[in-house]
Amino acid sequence: MESIVVIIAIAIGVGLLGTALGFFGRQAILMGTVRSTQREAEKALLETAAKQKELLVEAKEKAVLLRTEAEAELRERRQEQQRLERRLTQKEENLERKLESLEQKERNLAQKEKETQQLHQQMEGLKTQQLEKLEAISGMSSAEAKGILMHNIEEESQLDIARRLREMEARLKEEGDQIARDILSQAIQRLATDVVGETTVTVVPIPSDDMKGRLIGREGRNIRALEAATGVDLIIDDTPESVILSSFDSVRREIARVALNKLILDGRIHPARIEEMVGKARTEVEATIKAEGEDAAYKSGVHGLHPELIKLLGRLKYRTSYGQNVLMHSIEVAHISGMLAAELKANVKIAKAAGLLHDLGKAVDHEVEGPHAAIGADLVQRFGRSPEIVKAIAGHHGEAGPNSVEGFIVAAADAISGGRPGARRESLDHYVKRLEALESVANSFAGVEKSYAIQAGREVRIMVKPEQVDDLSAMRLARDIVKKIEETMEYPGQIKVTVIRETRAVEIAK
Phi first, then psi, for residue 380 (nearest 5°) are -65, -40
Position 196 scores a pLDDT of 43
Output the furthest CA–CA distance in the chain (Å, rounded). Answer: 216
Mean pLDDT of the 43-49 span: 84
Mean pLDDT of the 362-369 span: 74
Mean pLDDT of the 380-408 span: 78
Position 198 scores a pLDDT of 45
* Buried residues in 150-165 as b, exposed as e (16+ CB within 10 A): eeeeeeeeeeeeeeee
pTM greater than the 0.85 cutoff? no
Element (H, E) at 411: helix 405-419
The CB-based long-range contact list for 267-273 (8 Å cut-off, 24+ gap) reads 269/214, 269/215, 269/217, 269/222, 270/217, 270/222, 271/221, 271/222, 271/225
Position 194 scores a pLDDT of 46
Q: What is the pLDDT of residues 129-161, one digit of tens each?
A: 887 777 777 666 767 767 777 777 777 777 778
Position 430 pLDDT exceeds 70: no
Position 278 pLDDT exceeds 60: yes
Helices (H) and strands (E) in the chain, counts: 14, 8
Position 481 scores a pLDDT of 92
Angle subtended at Cα 95 by Cα 93 and Cα 97, rounded to the nearest 5 degrees: 70
* Most confidently modeled range among 63-77, 203-217, 233-247: 63-77
Cα–chain center distance at 141: 61
Rounded mean pLDDT of the chain? Answer: 80
Position 429 pLDDT exceeds 60: no
**With bands split at pLDDT 50, 70 and 90, how would you rate the model's confidence at 316?**
confident
Position 431 scores a pLDDT of 66
Q: How far apart are CA 416 and CA 121, in angstroms?
A: 73
Mean pLDDT of the 54-79 span: 88
Question: Cβ distance 390 to 343 under 8 Å?
Answer: no
Q: Specify the pairing of strand 324-325 against strand 320-321.
A: antiparallel
CA atoms within 13 A of residue 277's CA, in its CB half-sphere: 24
**With bands split at pLDDT 50, 70 and 90, how would you rate the model's confidence at 243?**
confident
Q: What is the pLDDT of residues 178-235, one digit of tens each?
A: 776 666 655 555 554 444 434 556 778 888 777 878 888 887 888 888 888 887 888 8
Position 1 pLDDT exceeds 70: no
DSSP structure class, residue 365: T
Q: What share of the chain is helix, strand, coil (3-state, %, to 5)?
A: 70, 5, 20
Mean pLDDT of the 284-297 span: 88
Mean pLDDT of the 409-430 span: 67
Position 32 scores a pLDDT of 76
- Of the chain, the percentage scoring pLDDT greater than 90 comes to 4
Q: How far apart are CA 244 and CA 206, in angstroms?
A: 11
* Best CA proximity match to 388, nearest among 364, 412, 355, 415: 355
3-class secondary-structure state, position 244: strand
Position 294 pLDDT exceeds 70: yes
Position 191 scores a pLDDT of 52
Position 400 scores a pLDDT of 65
